[in-house]
A and B are shown apart, each in its own frame.
Chain A
Amino acid sequence: MSPDGQDRDDRYPDNPDQGSTGPDVPAFRAARDHVRDEILRFVRALRRSGVAVPANAEITAVRALVEVGFDEEATVRAALRACLVPDAEDLSTFDRLFPEFWRRLTAGLDPDGPAPRRDDGPEGTLAPLGDDAPGEGPESEAAGSSGETDQESESETVAASSALDAMVTDSRPDVDAEAVERSWFSPTGSRTRVSEGTGVGAAGRLAPAFDELTRGLGTLRGRRWRQGDERADVRRSLRSSVGTGGTIVSLPRRERKPDDVRAVWLVDVSQSVLDTVDRSFLFGTLRRARVEWRDCRIVFFDESARDVSAAFDEPTAAAALDALHGAETEWGGGTRIGESIAGFLADSPEALDRRTVVFVVSDGLETGDVATLEEALATLSRRTAGIVWLNPLAVASAYEPRADGMASALPFVDGLFAFGGATDLAAVGRQLRRHGLGGRIGYEYDPRRGGSKARRTNV
């Protein structure tokens, strides 16, 4: 039923709307309802697929169609794209769903009248019109034999359900298929140990590298001031009052510049990582982070997570090691990154906030469920300022993040970097300082990797 309570399939020969827009065009009301309903259905399908369609977009879309008409698919596509898709990342979803919308829309606007409607199943899905002739209304269906009708309705059900299946399938990555294509180690790498020759070097090299990292990570307010809202800036107020004859017209304000760090280090201490990372470099880095940063927690994980921050509070490295041994902290074993992070999130929710930077030191060789890893990292990504993944394997120039866990983690990671020595740490700090957590950062932008050999990953 149309909103005014009349049946939309009636042709309304006496309808006043018809007279106002032209006597030769039948079924204005039905066509109008059809366009509006298809727009609404299309918008629901987009939203269901995750597109952030603005709240008033349906009205804008209909007005846009009024302006551009329905003669050309490309024009309608461009018009709806301009109205419905604010984010470029969603264009592919739009392009995937548009053809079905267009087919339904044009079928309903055929000169012979709108196509019959059918229930579209779950909210927001676009059941195809199939090969129905546009003029094949309820009357023609009623004229057919009951056997034909049953057969047709069965085929319609199949078509609708396949469309639904297609949408559901398209909206989810095919994890199994990807798992077949990936391998545990980089297929482009050699069999030599990737951490070979990338030792930590003297402690003197670590200090400036770590300072560089600290400079790139300021998320907490430090001692320096900058323009802001925190409190009045008396000096600037006096200076600016000179131009207004001594009257303070507007009050400049200032705030503390963020240059201190709050961080959580999630360190994979499984055997595969310990085989490749320089332990003294790792240990030195963690100890400096714990001592120099304002708020830093250190968590070791392999198949579960455990907070070892207290051990790094010891005054000397040897004492810290003793404390770790005393706590019976284990090194080596398998890796369940997703489960470990999920466990940490559940046990220590207070450790994370929007100003916390999370460092994950791991080779990404996940032996647990990849879906759990994705879910845990999605939560981690939402709750924190950003995730920096430090991978000991990435020091190899041929490294590509194709390991199952690493490839799954990449969409949630702000930057993936090599982690083999002080120069790697300095490179992380340099990139973060220049481009920030949201910028183009990562191992692929590291000039030490060489020119044409580096390629953008498609993950």
Chain B
Amino acid sequence: MANTAVRGSLDQIVDYEPTTPMTDRQTTAFSDVTDERLRTLFDEESYVADGDVVTTVLLALRLGKPLLVEGEPGAGKTELAKVLAAGFDTELVRLQCYEGLTAESALYEWNYTKQLLAVQSGDDASVFAEEYLLERPLLRALRGGSPPPVLLIDEVDRADEEFEALLLEVLSDYQVSVPELGTIRAETPPIVVITSNRTRALSDALKRRCLFLHVSPPSFEKERAILARKVPELDGVVAAELCAMAERLREEPLRKPPGAAETIDWARAVATLRAEDDEPLTPEEVHETLGCLLKEVEDVERVDDSLLETLIEAAAEARVEVTS
């Protein structure tokens, strides 16, 4: 087929352009991963991923580029990194970002107490050696073994903009400069997943180094599939009712629209309370368990009798649709 053949010739395109040397192409441990392998991995880890997610993750693995996952909280961004680590049977190194996160907390620190003791004991050897180095998540991920670890830089938008600058060297060259020791470079780059809740814009320099995956709230069908895998003990028809109500609630101007994670919490709560009962959900049941789905008091208060009635109607329609 011509398209497939042309694909081979496209390998030469980058070489063909004299102004773009291939210096930024990384050697990755996942160059031979196929989309079938990735789909199987997601299936085995009970992660419902549509075609866009599979293709984007596949490219991130093959091209050795960090994956910047953006979306509402609870959309499954962090879970994606966990699933990749479990699926490839490798370590998950997590760096949780927060305001004021410093290089010492993210990269490395010197063990000052140990250094001080060494100096006081009259040890002549340098105290700036490997044995005094405390690895923090970024360095640990770069020095990971084979297969390389999954580095999850979670909620990067919570960190200061200065911290993004720190990430640039790590993400572009997969190396860290320790003045006393020299440059530490990853033999095989880790899989890097960066998540952001979009509370602020990220720098162009960081975005330029990444592939982008925008995660939107799941559709009704996708959410049903998620519940079928994550909460198998819940009756399928009741699960459909929950998904319909969650979908309806997302149309409301809520402070914190429910994500897939909240729907899973809600489904688990309902499953615990009603065992294998497949009767339709009552307004009382919905009202009592709504705290699992809506995490803001103002959002819970917004669900008055009128909206509750609307939710029950949506649930009834879903029940009819699923059972017919």
User: Could you tell me which A residues sit within 8 Å of B by CB distance?
Assistant: 3, 17, 21-22, 24-25, 28, 31-32, 35-36, 52, 54-57, 59-60, 62-71, 74-75, 78-79, 81-83, 85-86, 88, 91, 106, 109-111, 227, 243-245, 247, 249-250, 435, 438, 440, 444-445, 447, 450-456
A-contact 0/1 string along B250-269, CB 8 Å cutoff? 01110100000000000000
Q: Establish whether residues B302 and A451, one from each chain, have CB atoms under 8 Å apart when the complex forms.
A: yes
Q: Establish whether residues B55 and A79, one from each chain, have CB atoms under 8 Å apart when the complex forms.
A: yes
Q: A63-B63, A88-B198, A88-B214 are in contact. Are A17 and B204 (CB under 8 A)?
A: no
The 9 closest A-B pairs by CB, nearest first: A452-B307, A451-B304, A25-B5, A78-B55, A111-B2, A244-B112, A54-B208, A78-B52, A70-B3
B199 to chain A: closest residue by CB:
A438
A-B contact pairs, 14 of them (CB 8 A): A28-B9, A32-B6, A32-B10, A35-B10, A52-B204, A62-B13, A64-B63, A64-B211, A78-B51, A82-B211, A88-B70, A445-B298, A453-B306, A455-B252
What is the minimal beta-carbon distance from A242 to any residue of chain B, in angstroms? 11
What is the minimal beta-carbon distance from B35 to any residue of chain A, in angstroms? 8
> Across the interface, which residues of B come within 8 angstroms of A106, CB to CB?
3
Q: A78-B51, A452-B310 are in contact. Are A17 and B10 (CB under 8 A)?
A: no
Q: How far is the CA of A65 from the CA of B198 in the complex (A)?
A: 28
Q: Establish whether residues A456 and B65, one from each chain, have CB atoms under 8 Å apart when the complex forms.
A: no
Q: A67-B63, A82-B212, A456-B253 are in contact. Are A447 and B301 (CB under 8 A)?
A: yes
B9 to chain A: closest residue by CB:
A28
Q: Establish whether residues B212 and A63, one from each chain, have CB atoms under 8 Å apart when the complex forms.
A: no
What is the minimal beta-carbon distance from B290 to any residue of chain A, in angstroms? 12
> Across the interface, which residues of A come within 8 angstroms of B104, CB to CB?
250
Among B15-23, B79-87, B163-171, B182-190, the one that faces the other chain is B15-23
Q: How far is the CA of A249 from the CA of B17 in the complex (A)?
A: 49
Q: How far is the CA of A359 from the CA of B59 in the complex (A)?
A: 46
Q: Establish whether residues A62 and B3, one from each chain, have CB atoms under 8 Å apart when the complex forms.
A: no
A-contact 0/1 string along B184-222, CB 8 Å cutoff? 000000000000001110001001101111101000000
> Across the interface, which residues of A come within 8 angstroms of B255, CB to CB?
435, 440, 445
Q: A35-B6, A452-B307 are in contact. Are A63 and B12 (CB under 8 A)?
A: no
Q: Establish whether residues B252 and A36, one from each chain, have CB atoms under 8 Å apart when the complex forms.
A: no
Q: Establish whether residues A21 and B5, one from each chain, have CB atoms under 8 Å apart when the complex forms.
A: yes
Q: Establish whether residues A55 and B2, one from each chain, have CB atoms under 8 Å apart when the complex forms.
A: no
In the assembled complex, B58 has its CB within 8 A of some CB on chain A: yes
Q: How far is the CA of A68 from the CA of B63 in the complex (A)?
A: 11
B309 to chain A: closest residue by CB:
A452
> Across the interface, which residues of B come within 8 angstroms of A22, CB to CB?
5, 8
Q: Establish whether residues A82 and B56, one from each chain, have CB atoms under 8 Å apart when the complex forms.
A: yes
Q: How far is the CA of A383 from the CA of B62 in the complex (A)?
A: 42
In the assembled complex, B11 has its CB within 8 A of some CB on chain A: yes
> Across the interface, which residues of A come within 8 angstroms of B302, CB to CB?
447, 451-452, 454
Q: Looking at the complex, which one of A3, A32, A35, A55 makes contact with B18 (CB distance below 8 Å)?
A: A3
B210 to chain A: closest residue by CB:
A86
Q: A21-B5, A247-B116, A450-B304 are in contact. Are A456 and B10 (CB under 8 A)?
A: no
Count contacts between A and B, CB distance < 8 Å.
172
Q: A3-B17, A28-B9 are in contact. Are A67 and B58 (CB under 8 A)?
A: yes
> Across the interface, which residues of B come within 8 angstroms of A32, CB to CB?
6, 9-10, 12-13, 16
Q: Looking at the complex, which one of B2, B11, B199, B304 makes contact with A25 (CB distance below 8 Å)?
A: B2
- Name B215-271 residues within 8 Å CB distance of A: 216, 251-253, 255
Q: B interface, how many residues as a size bin?
A: 35 or more
B204 to chain A: closest residue by CB:
A54
User: Could you tell me which B residues sit within 8 Å of A by CB distance?
Assistant: 1-14, 16-18, 20, 24-25, 51-52, 55-56, 58-60, 62-63, 65, 68, 70-71, 100, 104, 110, 112-113, 116, 198-200, 204, 207-208, 210-214, 216, 251-253, 255, 298, 301-304, 306-307, 310
Q: Establish whether residues A245 and B251, one from each chain, have CB atoms under 8 Å apart when the complex forms.
A: no
Q: Establish whether residues B25 and A63, one from each chain, have CB atoms under 8 Å apart when the complex forms.
A: yes
B53 to chain A: closest residue by CB:
A78
Q: Establish whether residues A452 and B13, one from each chain, have CB atoms under 8 Å apart when the complex forms.
A: no
Given A64-B63, A82-B211, A109-B2, output 17 extra A-B contacts at Cβ < 8 Å: A21-B8, A28-B9, A32-B10, A35-B6, A35-B13, A59-B14, A67-B59, A69-B3, A70-B7, A82-B56, A83-B211, A88-B70, A111-B1, A243-B113, A245-B112, A444-B253, A445-B255
Q: A81-B212, A440-B255, A454-B252 are in contact. Are A66 and B51 (CB under 8 A)?
A: no
Q: Establish whether residues B10 and A65, one from each chain, have CB atoms under 8 Å apart when the complex forms.
A: yes
> Across the interface, which residues of B come within 8 angstroms of A71, CB to CB?
1, 3-4
B8, B207, B253, B304 pick with most chain A CB within 10 angstroms: B253
Q: How far is the CA of A57 from the CA of B20 in the complex (A)?
A: 12
Q: How far is the CA of A448 from the CA of B23 in the complex (A)?
A: 59
What is the minimal beta-carbon distance from A371 to any residue of chain B, in angstroms? 27
Q: Establish whether residues B13 and A36, one from each chain, have CB atoms under 8 Å apart when the complex forms.
A: yes
Q: Establish whether residues A63 and B14, one from each chain, have CB atoms under 8 Å apart when the complex forms.
A: yes
Q: A31-B6, A243-B113, A245-B113 are in contact. Are A64 and B59 (CB under 8 A)?
A: yes
Q: Looking at the complex, which one of A66, A82, A445 makes contact with B253 (CB distance below 8 Å)?
A: A445
B250 to chain A: closest residue by CB:
A456
Q: Establish whether residues B112 and A452, one from each chain, have CB atoms under 8 Å apart when the complex forms.
A: no
> Across the interface, which residues of B come within 8 angstroms of A25, CB to CB?
2, 5-6, 8-9
A108 to chain B: closest residue by CB:
B6
A85 to chain B: closest residue by CB:
B212
B102 to chain A: closest residue by CB:
A250
Q: Establish whether residues A66 and B310, one from each chain, have CB atoms under 8 Å apart when the complex forms.
A: no
> Across the interface, which residues of A come within 8 angstroms of B307, CB to CB?
451-452
> Across the interface, which residues of A come within 8 angstroms of B14, CB to CB?
59, 62-63
Q: Establish whether residues A68 and B59, one from each chain, have CB atoms under 8 Å apart when the complex forms.
A: yes
Q: How far is the CA of A71 from the CA of B55 in the complex (A)?
A: 13
What is the minimal beta-carbon distance from A110 to any residue of chain B, in angstroms? 7
Q: Establish whether residues B9 and A451, one from each chain, have CB atoms under 8 Å apart when the complex forms.
A: no
> Across the interface, which residues of A come within 8 angstroms of B24, CB to CB?
56, 59
Q: How far is the CA of A35 from the CA of B16 in the complex (A)?
A: 13
Q: How far is the CA of A60 from the CA of B63 in the complex (A)?
A: 9
What is the minimal beta-carbon distance from A63 to any residue of chain B, in angstroms? 6
Q: Looking at the complex, which one of A55, A63, A82, A456 makes contact with B55 (CB distance below 8 Å)?
A: A82
What is the minimal beta-carbon distance from A238 to any residue of chain B, in angstroms? 15
> Across the interface, which residues of B come within 8 angstroms of A450, CB to CB?
304
